[in-house]
Amino acid sequence: MKKAQALEELFLAQKPHFDDSDVFMTSLTKRLDAVEFIKRYQEAALHRYKMAMLVAFVAGFIGGAVGMVFLLSTPAQVPLFTFRTHIVLLQWVGENSRIIAAAALSLLMSLGIISIVANVKDVMDMRVRLQAEK
């Protein structure tokens, strides 16, 4: 609402003088073309963001599914990796590698979901702003 009032006041404050209609029409056409270019660019950027989110979602879903299938398909008593050393910390990591891998995969998938939701919200806000400007 404030933006519309500001634009109205701006137009009312202008007192254009028209000496040569050809020059005025040429500059007006250039300005309108620039506005149309910016609108097309914003719509293309919005489309690119949507496609990037879709690709990220599909890649994350496939990666998470493959990781979970691998994690669940190996025997439960066999660690995912071993270090073959006598250092206590590394032995503990090797023994609990399945739990550590599951926790890391869960955290990574949660981070991916949160970032995708944030991106969807940003794109929706952009769409609302573009529709409000029209």
Residues of the chain where predicted confidence (pLDDT) is lower than 70: 1, 7, 15-20, 134
- Rounded distance between C-alpha atoms, residue 14 and residue 56, angstroms: 49
Residue pair 53/116 in contact (Cβ under 8 Å)? The answer is: yes
How many percent of the chain have pLDDT more than 90? Answer: 1
User: Does residue 15 sit within a domain?
Assistant: no
pLDDT at residue number 35: 85
Q: How many CA atoms lie within 13 A of 113 on its CB side?
A: 8
Encode pLDDT of 39-63 as tens digits. 888 888 888 888 888 888 888 888 8
DSSP letter, residue 16? -
pLDDT at residue number 134: 65
CA dihedral 116, 63, 82, 72 (to 10 degrees): 110
User: Does residue 6 sit within a domain?
Assistant: no
User: Does residue 123 sit within a domain?
Assistant: yes
User: Does residue 119 sit within a domain?
Assistant: yes
pLDDT at residue number 18: 60
Domain that holds residue 108: 26-133
Q: How many CA atoms lie within 13 A of 111 on its CB side?
A: 6
User: Does residue 112 sit within a domain?
Assistant: yes
> How many domains are contained in the chain?
1
Burial class of 60 by CB neighbour count within 10 A (0 to 12, 13 to 18, 19+):
middle
